[in-house]
Amino acid sequence: MSLPLHNTIRPEDLPGAAERRWADGVKARLDPDRLLCEMTCGKRLAADVCRWLFAELGYTFATMVVEEGSSEWLLRYIFYGSPGGGQVHVRLALAKPEMQVPSISRFVHAADWHERETEDLFGLTFEGHPRLGDFVLHEQWPEGVNPMRAGFDATAPFVPREIGPEWHPPGIVQAPGAFMMPIGPVYSDAAESAHFLLETVGEDVIRTIPRFFYKYRGVEKIAEGAPVDRVLLLSERFSGTSAFAHSLAFCQAVEEIAGIEIPRRAGALRVLLAELERFRHHVGAIAAICGSTALAVATSQASILEEEALRLTAAVTGHRYLFGLNIPGGLSRDFSDAHCRSLSEGVEGLLARLCDLKGMLRYSSSFLDRIEEVGIVTRKQAVDYGLVGPIARASGIARDIRKVLPYADYERYAFDIPCEEEGDGYARLRVLFSEAEQSAGILRQAAASLPAGPVSAGPVAIRPGASLGRVEAPRGAAFHWVRIGEGGRVARYRLTTPSFTNWHGFHLAAEDFAFQDFPIIMATFGLSNAESDR
């Protein structure tokens, strides 16, 4: 399915177009201040409305949020447009005890894993979905126990389900000589748990069947009923390498619910720190790609740069991974203009050496042979799977939340969105180098033009409401849905991370390539299992 990336309708025309198309079946209204169009429809039309937004109007699927009330289910399908297109929320309410929902993944394939996750965690089933079950909850989990249901008791003893001798891992390839090669779930070094079944009849991988959630921690369940400051800690710690981005998304959701604007200096400093995190992340990802090809010297050079970036971060901010800085209303502490300029100068020095490394890699044929025309994801595949971040941009999709749904202070700074067309490992590497250069440039602009004033709006009056926090995290678009209930506690917290989104499409790159390419392709994706599993 070939899809446009630019919306074909203006946000102000969208409610009328929807109501004319489904007279008496869809109610729509636009919040012009937030550029948010909310559509309410019944079970019969939900899949068709989502298909219309995705396939005909070019909206991108962001996430699906399920909320369980005392008498009904509320499902919210969230889409976002091209710059200026805003958000669209499709709301579907189901009266209990209804437990069946039409699947939208046959039209919006990016929703596939969202529906599988919901079936496991809430027990809702999606009519027409080809494969449900055994996703988040593995085969030992008791049948019929759904840990995100309101009545779930986390203190009750867990009794593992007995696995019969007939159980076997799922397989797809049926051919003479076909066999499965298991990879993981335990790896050496600091690699996190994940399992891959590679199916083949020879040397090339025909099918890749991933299995995640060995590290499922129930972050969203733990957040229910917790105060905002407690959930802020959860948002910051479930993926340490992207701590600043995720805590920023959470804080922005809380700030929108509270209806407050943060001081301009706080917005500028948030941009500066977010780009520092992106720069350091991309240097680490480049080191991992070099390491996957056994290029020892280049790996050491990139690893040294990453370590120096971490030490620079700690020297200026007090923490190597930027913990403890974001709070609702701004930042927990200020930084002097001189400190910010020295931070920028330090990053410029690291960038110069990173560019030297880029030049050497560009002419290393043994390195290029391992990543060029290897692990290809086409633009059409990336659109269908809703891939995000550097992986999508390496496949020709110039989409970035900093431009599409601007936040913090990004609209004040000039920067480009690097984009490549080939969709292979080398394209993903080039995007990482280019984005590191752009981050250094944004950081330089922010450090040179910091507004004066406070970095916090002061104590935030927490009030009931819901909002979607969004950021362009280092690995791509991240969405934090936050609902605050009466009493100022979090009633629902839904995380959609770039690793969750992009692992869904990883098999596209791994299939039809040789076994020995698999770890290199995985390195060029640069994803986090902890960020996916939550």
Please state, in angstroms and as integers, the Cα–Cα distance from residue 187 to each residue in 5, 136, 141, 191, following that order: 38, 20, 24, 6
Closest residue by Cα to residue 257 from 480, 21, 16: 480
Mean pLDDT taken over the chain: 92
* CB distance 450 to 380 below 8 Å: no
Alpha-carbon span 252 to 81, nearest angstrom = 19
- pLDDT, tens digit, 9 for 90 and up, residues 444-502: 999 999 999 999 998 889 999 999 999 999 999 999 999 999 889 999 999 999 999 99
* CB distance 257 to 466 below 8 Å: yes
**What element of type H or E holds 346?**
helix 337-362
Q: Which two tokens stand for residue 392?
A: 């999508």
* CB distance 472 to 400 below 8 Å: yes
Backbone angles phi, psi at 492, to 5 degrees: -150, 135
Give the strand pairing for 87-95 and 72-80: antiparallel
Alpha-carbon span 241 to 246, nearest angstrom = 10
Where would I find the beta strands (DSSP E) of 152-267?
Answer: 179-183, 195-200, 207-211
- pLDDT, tens digit, 9 for 90 and up, residues 182-225: 888 888 777 788 999 888 887 888 888 899 999 899 999 999 99
pLDDT score, position 421: 94
* Max Cα distance, the chain (Å): 71
Alpha-carbon span 258 to 337, nearest angstrom = 29
Inter-axis angle of helices 498-510 and 518-525, nearest 10: 150
* CB distance 254 to 234 below 8 Å: no
Residues of the chain with confidence (pLDDT) below 50: 1-4
pLDDT score, position 1: 42
**DSSP letters spanning 100-163:** EEE--TTT-GGGHHHHHHHHHHH--EEET-S--SSSSS-TTSPTT--TTSTT--TTSPP-PPPP
Q: Work out the number of other CB atoms within 10 angstroms of the CB of residue 502.
A: 29
The answer to whether the pTM exceeds 0.85 is yes
Q: Name beta bridge partners: 198.
A: 181, 208
Q: Work out the number of other CB atoms within 10 angstroms of the CB of residue 363.
A: 8
pLDDT score, position 183: 87
- pLDDT, tens digit, 9 for 90 and up, residues 230-246: 999 999 998 889 999 99
pLDDT score, position 5: 52
